Amino acid sequence: MEQWPVLYQQWKQFIIAGEAVTPWQKYFVLFYQAFMEADRWKQYLNGVGTTLTVTAMALAMGVTIGVIVAVIRTSHAQQRPGRRNPVLGLINLVCRVYVTVIRGTPMMVQLLIMGMVIFKSSRNFTMVGALSLGINSGAYVSEIIRGGLMSLDPGQAEAGRSLGLNYFDTMRFIVVPQAIKAILPALGNEFIILLKDTSLITVIGGKELLYAAQGIYSRTYEQMFPLFGIAIIYLILVMIFSWLQGILERRLRQSDRR
């Protein structure tokens, strides 16, 4: 390990001078250049940190927006006919437009609009990126939650209401706890998509993992190691979260068989 910098300098000079080197020596130089020289691994580590932070922020925002939109849309749909609340109707319309626009346009375009039009003057690219991802994710999460609520046997809510429970108690104690179980797998997938989509925020200058790799290969002109490197990092992150998701789902299923 200690002689790595020495070997790196030596073999790098060979390559520059056009002398013959073994493939092993060549890859060592590229590897060292991509990850070790000038402590570049710290840049990847910062990138991972930002990627995870942005994912967490976007997810929190996505779930918050998603729950609100889903509740508005289902409670609008479940009003007794002829007794519809016009204010709720208007809010519902806004929610529908939001979901349609977000799901009907590419994530990349939304990011560019947010970064270069709406928040043109903002310098905090990473935050603008997280905000865009959160707004995007909210539309998908709201559809996931709405699907979960609708997949539940309507007899469950009817039983609650027939006992005299009001709408919100019925949702809180009967519908939502059962819907969460149905929603969790899809929500896990949304989380994984979000994690990978953070790489898109580089287009507006967000400083996450891909941004780190780009910064490095723009100096070294060697793309293979930085790109493979971050691909492996994304893969490992996704695998860790899939594994955690599996544990959570298995635990929930166990309580079913009780």
Partner 1 sequence: MIDVKNLSKSFGHHLVLDDISQHIYPGEKVVIIGPSGSGKSTFLRCLNLLEEPTKGVITFDGTVITDPKAKIDLIRRQMGMVFQHFNLFPNMTIRKNITLAPVRTGLMKQSEADADAETLLERVGLRDRVDAYPAQLSGGQKQRVAIVRALAMRPKVMLFDEPTSALDPEMVGEVLEVMKQLADEGMTMVVVTHEMGFAREVGSRILFMADGKVLEEAPPAQLFGSPTHPRLKDFLSKVL
Q: How far apart are CA 5 and CA 29, in angstroms?
A: 10
Which helix (H) or strand (E) covers residue 79, if one does?
A: none
Task: Answer whether 131's CB lies under 8 Å from 59's CB.
Answer: no
* Tokens at 190, concatenated: 């949304």
CA distances from 22 to 8, 78, 106, 179, 221 (A): 13, 71, 45, 59, 20
Q: Which of 1, 155, 221, 247 binds partner 1 (CB under 8 A)?
A: 155
118 binds partner 1 (CB under 8 A): no
How many residues contact partner 1, by CB under 8 A?
24
Residue with Cβ nearer partner 1 (106 or 177): 177
Q: Which of 16, 20, 83, 109 binds partner 1 (CB under 8 A)?
A: 83
Secondary structure in 3-state letters for 158-174: HHHHHCCCCHHHHHHHH
166 binds partner 1 (CB under 8 A): yes
Residues in CB range of 174: below 8 A, 6 or more apart: 156, 157, 159, 160, 165
Q: Which of 25, 110, 156, 214 binds partner 1 (CB under 8 A)?
A: 156
Residue 219 neighbours by CB distance under 10 Å: 11
Q: To the nearest whole angstrom, how small is the minimum distance from the Cβ of residue 229 to partner 1? A: 45
2 binds partner 1 (CB under 8 A): no
39 binds partner 1 (CB under 8 A): no
174 binds partner 1 (CB under 8 A): yes
Matching residue, tokens 């998908």: 140
Q: To the nearest whole angstrom, how small is the minimum distance from the Cβ of residue 183 to partner 1? A: 14
251 binds partner 1 (CB under 8 A): no
Residue with Cβ nearer partner 1 (42 or 84): 84
Q: What is the DSSP string of 101-148?
A: HHHHS-HHHHHHHIIIIITTT---HHHHHHHHHHHHHHHHHHHHHHHH
Residue with Cβ nearer partner 1 (165 or 238): 165
82 binds partner 1 (CB under 8 A): yes
Q: To the nearest whole angstrom, how small is the minimum distance from the Cβ of residue 181 to partner 1? A: 8
Q: Which of 1, 17, 80, 120 binds partner 1 (CB under 8 A)?
A: 80
214 binds partner 1 (CB under 8 A): no
Q: How far apart are CA 244 and CA 251, in angstroms?
A: 11
Q: To the nearest whole angstrom, how small is the minimum distance from the Cβ of residue 157 to partner 1? A: 9
Contact set with partner 1 (CB under 8 A): 80-83, 153, 155-156, 158-166, 169, 173-174, 177-178, 256-258
